[in-house]
Amino acid sequence: AQKITQTQPGMFVQEKEAVTLDCTYDTSDQSYGLFWYKQPSSGEMIFLIYQGSYDEQNATEGRYSLNFQKARKSANLVISASQLGDSAMYFCAMGTSGGSYIPTFGRGTSLIVHP
Amino acid sequence: DVKVTQSSRYLVKRTGEKVFLECVQDMDHENMFWYRQDPGLGLRLIYFSYDVKMKEKGDIPEGYSVSREKKERFSLILESASTNQTSMYLCASSPPAGEGSPLHFGNGTRLTVT
């Protein structure tokens, strides 16, 4: 079985500061992929960043980076230089080889960026 | 860009009605998914499909069925709607399942059952 845990229901950050959103996962599979999605208040789910289990480097996409610590089974999302438009729900997801790579999602973290 | 279109943004139905939620994607993706999103529970998988006429149950299939007669279209059916099916429903598609295939989502259908 695969499981994703996001322990922060809500987070607040000041504009232009960095913020880390936590995600831990549990799987016995050796091959898996980790994803982060953003959901603004408009409702659409936007893919942000991906990390494969065999990737040695942390993934980065613009202001987003994924702090992948395999031994600790964590895949935290780091947003640098927060902007007001970053206010949204953020979901961590995982697909594993044993689960046919069908994504399982965490419960999400609501991020509010203050001016 | 991949486009996933859900036919309705908002729906209000009565208890006991048969409800159809339609989803169409334009990128020839093999995989299509239906998720349900509830506050505090994240996204939960209802059904998914690897190919035309193929379907697999997800984590919460009870009270739902699906239909995939054409590759681009994946329909979610509530056989007899109940108030506990009031929720946001999200359709998604992806290329063949692989480690790095992200999902492409529609804008969601917010269903209210009264």
Closest CA to B30 of B50, B60, B2: B50
Q: How far is B17 from chain A (nearest CA, A)?
A: 26
How many Cβ atoms sit within 10 Å of the Cβ of residue B89? 24
- Cβ within 8 Å of A, B 17-76: 33, 35, 40-45, 48, 58
Cross-strand pairs, A51: A34
Closest CA to B74 of B24, B2, B19: B24
pLDDT at B98: 64
Per-residue pLDDT in tens (0 to 9) along chain A, 115 residues: 789 999 999 999 999 999 999 999 999 999 999 999 999 999 899 999 999 999 989 999 999 999 999 999 999 999 999 999 999 999 999 998 878 888 999 999 999 999 9
- Choose, out of B59, B93, B99, the residue to mutate when testing the contact with A (most A CBs < 10 Å): B99
What's the rounded Cα separation, in Å, for the pair B43 and B106?
Answer: 14
A44–B88 CB contact, under 8 Å: no
A44–B33 CB contact, under 8 Å: no
